[in-house]
């Protein structure tokens, strides 16, 4: 397990035009936990994910990495994002999409094939490695996007609606994998409309109109099949 850390959001504000689309108090998200972000469409979930991933810089406040040595500015390469639209290259095969992400993260060529193979096997797609992404169903593409994030193995995994296209069995499979990843040390943050995600997350942040309206923890006894708290 990697060294524990926290992702600290100073009070942040994201503006659009004359108004703000996200205003949050200081929050600290801990590694080793899965945090769910819920709320209706337009509540600010995706905006918050983009702030956490350093894709979007807030107009006020910062996102910091806090370990035993103090606060440090979060680097973009410390996180991996599963976007709602999957972010796959349709002209590449399933395996090539994952290998490309590993290459961009500096993984040696000799190490990529086993990582690709293991990631695809974990989501039940090892038989589709040589298929073009454009030939896959939406649910299969979503699982490829999750497999890619798992293969990259960053300390922060951020996913926007990672179960939205999945049937019940694959939804449970993907959520199990993400909970397992959190248990191994990384911080996992998911934005979702899926009630199962909130039920099994360690912590749930609820947004409405760009504001935090609830911050709650789910007791271990209520998280069916979820890992023990660190």
pLDDT in tens, 16-70: 999 999 999 999 999 999 999 999 999 999 999 999 999 999 999 999 999 878 8
Give yes or no for a contact between 58 and 50, defined as CB atoms under 8 angstroms apart.
Answer: no
For the stretch 55-64, pLDDT in tens is 999 999 999 9
Residue 230 pLDDT greater than 60, yes or no:
no
**pTM for the complete prediction?**
0.91
**Mean pLDDT over residues 99-119, rounded?**
96
Whole-number Å distance between alpha carbons of 185 and 202? 14
**Between β-strands 6-9 and 63-67, what pairing exists: parallel, antiparallel or unpaired?**
antiparallel
CA neighbor of 207 nearest in space, from 32, 73, 9, 65: 9
Assign 86 to helix, strand or coil.
coil
Residue 112 pLDDT greater than 50, yes or no:
yes
Q: What is the mean pLDDT of the chain?
A: 93
CA neighbor of 84 nearest in space, from 125, 50, 124, 117: 50
- Pick the residue with more confidence: 227 or 182? 182
Whole-number Å distance between alpha carbons of 142 and 114? 21
Residue 227 pLDDT greater than 60, yes or no:
no
Residue 1 pLDDT greater than 60, yes or no:
no
Query: Tell me, what's the pLDDT at 74?
Result: 72
For the stretch 70-99, pLDDT in tens is 878 777 668 999 999 999 999 999 999 999
Give yes or no for a contact between 91 and 134, defined as CB atoms under 8 angstroms apart.
Answer: yes
Q: Alpha helix locations (H) across the chain?
A: 45-52, 94-104, 109-122, 138-152, 168-183, 195-200
Question: Which residues on adjacent β-strands are paired with residue 80?
Answer: 157
Tokens of 193: 């409309």
Tokens of 97: 């999409």
Residue 224 pLDDT greater than 60, yes or no:
no
The band of 120, judged by pLDDT with boundaries at 50, 70 and 90, is very high
Task: Just give the CATH number of 6-221.
Answer: 3.40.50.300
Percent of the chain at pLDDT > 90 equals: 86
Q: Which residues contact 168 (CB under 8 A, 6 or more apart)?
A: none
Query: Tell me, what's the pLDDT at 76?
Result: 67
Whole-number Å distance between alpha carbons of 230 and 32? 6
């Amino acid at each position: 397990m990697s060294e524990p850390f926290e992702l600290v959001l100073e009070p942040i504000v994201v503006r659009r035009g004359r108004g703000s689309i996200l205003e949050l108090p200081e929050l600290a998200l801990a590694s080793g936990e899965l945090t769910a972000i819920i709320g209706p469409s337009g509540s600010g979930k995706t905006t918050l994910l983009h702030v956490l991933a350093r894709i979007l810089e807030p107009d006020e406040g910062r996102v910091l990495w806090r370990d035993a040595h103090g606060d440090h500015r979060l680097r973009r390469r410390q996180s991996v994002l599963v976007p709602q639209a999957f972010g796959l290259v349709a002209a590449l095969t399933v395996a090539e999409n994952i290998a490309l992400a590993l290459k961009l993260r500096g993984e040696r060529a000799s190490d990529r094939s086993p990582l690709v193979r293991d990631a695809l096997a974990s989501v039940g797609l090892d038989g589709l490695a040589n298929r073009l992404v454009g030939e896959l169903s939406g649910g299969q593409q979503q699982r490829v996007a999750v497999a890619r994030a798992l293969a990259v193995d960053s300390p922060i995994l951020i996913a926007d609606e990672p179960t939205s296209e999945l049937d019940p069995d694959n939804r449970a499979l993907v959520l199990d994998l993400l909970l397992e990843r959190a248990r191994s040390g990384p911080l996992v943050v998911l934005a979702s409309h899926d009630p199962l995600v909130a039920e099994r997350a360690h912590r749930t942040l609820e947004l409405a109109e760009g504001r935090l309206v609830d911050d709650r923890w789910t007791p271990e006894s209520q998280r069916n099949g979820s890992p023990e708290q660190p």
